[in-house]
Chains A and B, each alone.
Chain A
């Protein structure tokens, strides 16, 4: 019986394991190998020549390669941090709005919020580039109605990255709202009953029941939000091309430009490895932080 299981398991697993092995794990290992090589993406892998840590010296050096990479790393960090800081609290607030039963329409609100997550990022980028248009765009007109002067949005190095964060938050927050609702449904109602009997008001209930019990959900959300945020590509590729003056040059865009368009495969791979390492550090730190809070 055990032998039969092993044979069947092999058959059942073969397609998925082969595909993920060949198209995800092998390229990942190749990226790690290539980060120590001088290699042009237009040549076979056999043309690569070992340069040790040379690529890393270059991407952290003081030449334009180093400056561009460090800018992209910093921009990605800012972009990711801002996205997470905006998305998480909004997802909890929106989740509570959908989940409450005092006013009807929660499910309809969930539908509206989540529908933006279905919109291709490329369409989001196109539409928002027109919403942001300084003269004929509706956003500046609406700001004018409440007495705020016209904003430069995507056309100024000071506001372009934040403008892209905003369109990202708009697109993604519905997904995280659904995650927050999933977390809320896991909180036993009896806790709120007991708290109400003890005279705890709404704010105290949120602080001592809802928030602590949502911590696991929020950790999961934060990890997904970080992974999603470092993938931002379409608005940059389509609208800003990394500008103005490098202010929206983010890693996914920069790595593709270096590694594919300029065919500097070794340099691009070193940047990709740095991205992978940063993510691992970031996610481990998050887990450690939440676990420490849990054990307190």
Chain B
């Protein structure tokens, strides 16, 4: 919005400003409430979580529920598995997306737009459509029930290629040509010139991929076939709900959920600028 519209828009009466502020506050409260409730409930005693009407703020915050979570699931192991899955997948996506994005942005080869369209079309394919044969294929490769089985099929994706192409297209050709004149190889140009020029977009893609694969549930659940040693945290969580079902497990469930939510949420809070920029970039440039 230009400065002119902003100054025009500022002529609102103070009554409508109060209404606006109230609406904003209401939206923020409704949006934040479930997570606030989650954290508060994870700090309650079992008796407090069962009370009717519900207790809002725990009188004596306790970490009891977290200790119990550690007794039901292997928290360290699950968190480690999630970290391995999310980081290795992200690293793969970055390498494959930057390379392919560069080729699509800067090489005039025949069939380029057709190949790009075919790859982009896969972005709109819900994973369930390929789940059954993929499950069988990964099984035949001997990768089922392992972290590799979760990671390998996800090392490249259309969204990453799309995002990288959009941003690499904006890198000046002169910069790349000058490096070619100096005899630099294409991979060296990619590493030394192209990648640094699109660093914010790479950061955004890295964060997106990490959070997506930290949170992903359907594929790991399908491929792991009950091998609890390889469970990421999101799958271990489901065991908290079935543990002691019907009895007092609310605190337990909330503590487990809090643990699983923390890594992606902390990443987001510190790096949200990149997230937002890349969504805006992908929407506008697309």
**Residues of chain A having any CB pair with chain B under 8 Å:** 5-6, 8-9, 11-13, 15-17, 19-20, 23-28, 30-31, 34, 41, 44-45, 94, 97, 99-103, 105-106, 108-116, 118-124, 126-131, 133, 135-138, 141, 170, 174-175, 178-179, 181-186, 188-190, 192-193, 196, 217, 220, 223, 227, 230-231, 233-234, 237-239, 251-252, 255-256, 259-260, 265, 268-269, 272-273, 275-276, 279, 283
User: Does A9 contact B103, Cβ atoms closer than 8 Å?
Assistant: yes
Instruction: Tell me the residues in window 17-69 of chain B with beta carbons closer than 8 Å to chain A beta carbons.
Output: 17, 20-21, 23-24, 27-28, 30-32, 34-35, 37-38, 41, 49-54, 56
User: Does B96 contact A16, Cβ atoms closer than 8 Å?
Assistant: yes
User: Does B256 contact A19, Cβ atoms closer than 8 Å?
Assistant: no
7 A-B contacts (beta carbon < 8 Å): A11-B186, A16-B100, A103-B17, A118-B265, A127-B257, A182-B279, A231-B218
Q: A17-B100, A112-B31, A123-B237 are in contact. List 15 more A-B contacts (CB 8 A).
A: A12-B100, A12-B107, A26-B137, A97-B24, A102-B12, A102-B16, A112-B32, A122-B260, A123-B257, A127-B254, A192-B9, A231-B218, A269-B132, A275-B129, A279-B124
User: Does B28 contact A9, Cβ atoms closer than 8 Å?
Assistant: no
Complexed CA–CA distance, A113 and B23 (Å)? 13
Inter-chain contacts of B218 with A (CB < 8 A): 231, 233-234, 252, 256
In the assembled complex, the CB of B225 is this many whole angstroms from the nearest CB of chain A, namely: 9
Known contacts A8-B107, A123-B237; A28 and B32 CB within 8 A of each other: no
User: Does B261 contact A220, Cβ atoms closer than 8 Å?
Assistant: no
Main secondary structure of the interface of B (DSSP, over half): helix
User: Does A105 contact B24, Cβ atoms closer than 8 Å?
Assistant: yes
Complexed CA–CA distance, A13 and B109 (Å)? 11
User: Does A181 contact B51, Cβ atoms closer than 8 Å?
Assistant: no
Complexed CA–CA distance, A44 and B32 (Å)? 48
Inter-chain contacts of B23 with A (CB < 8 A): 97
User: Does B20 contact A97, Cβ atoms closer than 8 Å?
Assistant: yes
Report how many residues on chain B are interfacial, defined by Cβ distance under 8 Å. 106
- B29 — nearest CB in chain A belongs to which residue? A112
Known contacts A118-B211, A170-B34, A275-B129; A16 and B1 CB within 8 A of each other: no
Of B70-78, B150-158, B195-203, the one touching chain A:
B150-158
In the assembled complex, the CB of B258 is this many whole angstroms from the nearest CB of chain A, namely: 8
Contact with A along B111-134 (1 / 0, CB 8 A): 000010011001011111111111
Instruction: Indicate if B97 sits at the interface (CB-CB under 8 A).
Output: yes
In the assembled complex, the CB of A3 is this many whole angstroms from the nearest CB of chain B, namely: 11
Per CB-CB distance, the 5 closest pairs between chain A and chain B, nearest first, are A189-B2, A189-B5, A30-B133, A27-B130, A19-B156
Known contacts A120-B264, A121-B217, A227-B126; A127 and B283 CB within 8 A of each other: no
Instruction: Indicate if B102 sits at the interface (CB-CB under 8 A).
Output: yes
- B133 — nearest CB in chain A belongs to which residue? A30
User: Does B130 contact A114, Cβ atoms closer than 8 Å?
Assistant: no
In the assembled complex, the CB of B233 is this many whole angstroms from the nearest CB of chain A, namely: 8
User: Does A283 contact B99, Cβ atoms closer than 8 Å?
Assistant: no
In the assembled complex, the CB of A12 is this many whole angstroms from the nearest CB of chain B, namely: 4
In the assembled complex, the CB of A49 is this many whole angstroms from the nearest CB of chain B, namely: 16
User: Does A28 contact B129, Cβ atoms closer than 8 Å?
Assistant: yes
User: Does B51 contact A136, Cβ atoms closer than 8 Å?
Assistant: yes
Inter-chain contacts of A11 with B (CB < 8 A): 99, 186-187
Inter-chain contacts of A123 with B (CB < 8 A): 38, 234, 237, 257, 260-261
Contact of B250 among A121, A130, A175, A260 (CB under 8 A): A130
Complexed CA–CA distance, A193 and B56 (Å)? 48
Known contacts A15-B100, A130-B253, A192-B5; A179 and B124 CB within 8 A of each other: no
Inter-chain contacts of B104 with A (CB < 8 A): 13
Inter-chain contacts of B137 with A (CB < 8 A): 23, 26-27, 30
User: Does A15 contact B34, Cβ atoms closer than 8 Å?
Assistant: no
Inter-chain contacts of A115 with B (CB < 8 A): 31, 35, 265, 268-269
Complexed CA–CA distance, A13 and B118 (Å)? 13
User: Does B129 contact A217, Cβ atoms closer than 8 Å?
Assistant: no
User: Does A41 contact B237, Cβ atoms closer than 8 Å?
Assistant: no
Complexed CA–CA distance, A190 and B6 (Å)? 11
Known contacts A16-B100, A130-B254, A136-B49; A113 and B1 CB within 8 A of each other: no
User: Does B122 contact A25, Cβ atoms closer than 8 Å?
Assistant: yes
In the assembled complex, the CB of A118 is this many whole angstroms from the nearest CB of chain B, namely: 4
Inter-chain contacts of A131 with B (CB < 8 A): 34, 37
Instruction: Indicate if B214 sits at the interface (CB-CB under 8 A).
Output: yes
In the assembled complex, the CB of B3 is this many whole angstroms from the nearest CB of chain A, namely: 8
Complexed CA–CA distance, A16 and B137 (Å)? 18
Q: Count chain A CB atoms within 10 A of each CB in B122, B158, B240 and give the residue with the most.
A: B122
Inter-chain contacts of B140 with A (CB < 8 A): 44
User: Does B128 contact A120, Cβ atoms closer than 8 Å?
Assistant: no
User: Does B95 contact A15, Cβ atoms closer than 8 Å?
Assistant: yes
Contact of B8 among A45, A182, A192 (CB under 8 A): A192
Known contacts A12-B186, A170-B34, A268-B132; A17 and B27 CB within 8 A of each other: no
User: Does A24 contact B130, Cβ atoms closer than 8 Å?
Assistant: yes
In the assembled complex, the CB of B184 is this many whole angstroms from the nearest CB of chain A, namely: 12
In the assembled complex, the CB of B210 is this many whole angstroms from the nearest CB of chain A, namely: 10
User: Does B241 contact A126, Cβ atoms closer than 8 Å?
Assistant: yes
Inter-chain contacts of B211 with A (CB < 8 A): 118
